[in-house]
Amino acid sequence: MKKQFAVIGHPIGHTMSPFIHSRLFELAGVEADYQVMDVAPENLGQVIPSLKELDGFNITIPHKQAIIPYLDRLDRIAQMYGSVNTVKTADGVSSGYTTDPDGFVIALQKGGIPLSGRVVIVGTGGVARTMAYEACIAGCSTTLAVRREDLSMAARLAGELLSNLHTAAISTCLLEHLKGPIDLLVNATPVGMYPDTDAIPVRDEILASSANVFDAVYNPLETKLLQAARANGSKVVGGMPMLVWQAVASHKIWDGSEYRQEDIDQLCEDSSKELQKRFAGK
């Protein structure tokens, strides 16, 4: 019998998950169907029974935190991060995990960017939270740079990091007050994402003082932020490798699958081509 999986989110029309996960199942020799479910926040509780009948499912915005009360158990890392993007169901028990940290760290490693020194993370949402934890765990001097309206949220996240990681070097600042030099600049906001592709989250002088730049946005593949950073001589990595590597980590949870590096490199390339094909002329 084919295994059954899905991804839930809202809106979710342009998700790359079916393309990536179907290829990973194929590479692992696992027979499985992977469906897309657009679930509005107010309907999450209604779909839980049908989700728990699946072998597993992925969660994306805006359900990564809202799903937690519905699960039977939570992995230690997912509990610390307060976020779930992967659920495995076995023997009627649903277990929640987060593979976003794996995606972020491995994408940096494969791109030749060290997670060290002074790291500036733009944003305070779920992705920013993941990246801030990983930067602090790695011993980086980490700054959350935000808009004025997000300053209190950034302060709460910084306080939480200090509470959970007592040696964390974490601070907050307004984007308008941000100064270099920066070893790694991370965009953890939707700024620059399709269809508003002309937007850049930081000033030109900040980019000029950033040695490395990571953008979690994967549509477009090369955001204006990455284009400008590359023109300044910075080493850059976009969001697609993170998306693929966190999917790889999901499959390891679901069925213990392991993959060859060259197959994942090819999947990153093919996923990029598929994305370009979907949005050609838009």
The first and second tokens of residue 238, run together, are: 């976009």
CA dist 60 and 268 (Å) reads 19
153 Cβ neighbours under 8 A, 6+ residues apart: 124, 146
DSSP 89-138: EETTEEEEE--HHHHHHHHHHHTT----SEEEEE--SHHHHHHHHHHHHT
User: Three-state SS for 232?
Assistant: coil
Largest CA distance in the chain: 58
Q: Are 159 and 185 in contact (CB under 8 A)?
A: no
Peptide bond into 195 cis (omega under 30): yes
Peptide bond into 11 cis (omega under 30): yes
Strands laid side by side in the 169-174 sheet = 169-174, 141-146, 118-122, 182-187, 210-215, 235-237
Say which DSSP state 72 is in: S
Say which DSSP state 88 is in: E
Active-site pick, 2, 3, 52, 64: 64
Q: Which helix (H) or strand (E) holds 5?
A: strand 3-9
Based on the residue annotation, tell me whether 282 is a catalytic residue of this protein. Answer: no
- Active-site residue list: 64
